[in-house]
Structure formats: C-alpha cells, structure tokens
Amino acid sequence: MCSGWESASTSRSGDRLSRVARQGYLTVIEASATMSDSELVTRTREGDREAFGELVERYQRRVWLVCRQYLSREDATCAAQQSWVKAFTKIDRFDGRSAFTTWITRIAINTCLDELRRQKREGLRVEETGDSDGNEPIMAVEDFQPSPETRAMQREATQQVRSFEAELSQQQRQVFKLRFYAELDLEEIAGVLGVHIGTVKTQLHRAVHRLRRELGDLR
C-alpha cells in the first residue's frame, strides 16, 4: 500500500502534499463562506474552528458597533472580544430559537452592561462614550477623513444628538442606537431586547419624530 508515494522522490512528494494541504484549506474556507449561520454553528459544535472563524468574520463589525454604543472605543474592543469568547465557549447553549445574530448581540450587550456595572462599582466615569480626541461613536464608523470644517459640523451635530438622546427613555435610547448606530434591523432589535416588534416600531417612530422636531435645522 502507498507504494506510489513511497517510490516518489521526497521533494516532489513534499511539494505535492503542500499543494494538496493548501488547496484543502482553501476549499474549507470557501465552503464555510457559503454555509448558513446554523450550519456554521453545527460545525463549530463539532470542533470546527474555521466555521466559528467565519461567524466572527461575518459579524465582528456589528458586535463592535453594538459595544461602541455602550463603551469607549478601547473598552468596546475588549468587550467585543470577550463576547466572541463567551459565544465560543457557550455555543452548545445556542438553541436556535432565535437567529445567531440575535444571540451574539444579546451576549455583547450583556457583556457591556456588566462592564458598565464594574466601572460604576470602581468609581470610574461611565457617562461618556466618546474618545479623548473628541471622536464619537456615530463618527467612529466613518471610513473617510473629513475636512476640519466638516468635522466641526459633525461634532456639533453629534453633541446635539447626544443631548437629545439623554432626554429619551431608556428603551427609546436603546432602540435608536441599535437601529442607527449598530445597524440592526427592527426584528433583530426586538429579539435582542425581548420585546414585540410593534413596540420597537413605536419607540423608534417617537424617537425619530422627536429628533426631527428638535434638530430640524441640521437637515
């Protein structure tokens, strides 16, 4: 058995095995990219780390954006990483009754709330989520560098929006941030917050209507 491999030269065999290994790895990655979330979860439970890596690749930006609505940039990055670790170690607890995105988002929010409680216990300042250089969450997701004039206008608008947010109820503020900053759709928000989608629509409508009324001069 394996006589064909044994008679081949060592170098040619090594090159061939290397090519096969690379092709096989790429095939696994390509296959993972075409799988549904539920299929990737199943593969992860079976010990397939590449499958979980694909889930991270798909939703790491969303998880970070969610965390950014609660924490500073640095703390949000740590919380996002912790959320993925929790998801990996608790993947067997995912029962599939909700979408994977809903589940990981709920983990991220709970992780952030735990961090906020920790900071409060230790007497740290938790009221602000902007960075020391003046960056705000709404500005942090931009992929371009605006001019100084544009940045000044953005900063003024952001400050006014944050003042507006502070006057919203807790539920309205969560719905508003998850919709416009974290980019979740209405059904996802309902699942994450554990409320009916009609409640999400009502709270979002009230928040947006109030924002347009109070900040109409910025449009």
CA distances from 93 to 17, 51, 96, 106, 107 (A): 39, 17, 9, 13, 12
Domain that holds residue 145: 136-219
Question: Is residue 9 predicted with pLDDT exceeding 60?
Answer: no
Same domain, yes or no, for 106 and 177?
no
**Confidence (pLDDT) at 216:** 64
Q: What is the pLDDT of residues 72-128, one digit of tens each?
A: 999 999 999 999 999 999 999 999 888 999 999 999 999 999 999 998 888 765 444
78: CATH: 1.10.1740.10
In a domain, 2, yes or no: no
pTM for this entry: 0.67
Q: At what angle do helices 49-68 and 73-89 cross, to 10 degrees?
A: 140
The residue whose two tokens read 């590449």 is 50
Alpha helices in the chain (DSSP H): 3-7, 10-34, 37-45, 49-68, 73-89, 100-121, 137-140, 148-166, 170-180, 186-193, 197-214
Distance separating alpha carbons of residues 199 and 83, to the nearest angstrom: 27
The answer to whether the CB of 129 falls within 8 A of the CB of 137 is yes
Judge if 163 and 111 occupy the same domain: no
Q: Same structural domain for residues 145 and 200? A: yes
The predicted-structure confidence for 125-169, as pLDDT tens digits, reads as follows 544 455 544 445 544 444 445 677 766 766 776 777 778 888 889
Domain boundary residue, one of 129, 155, 171:
129
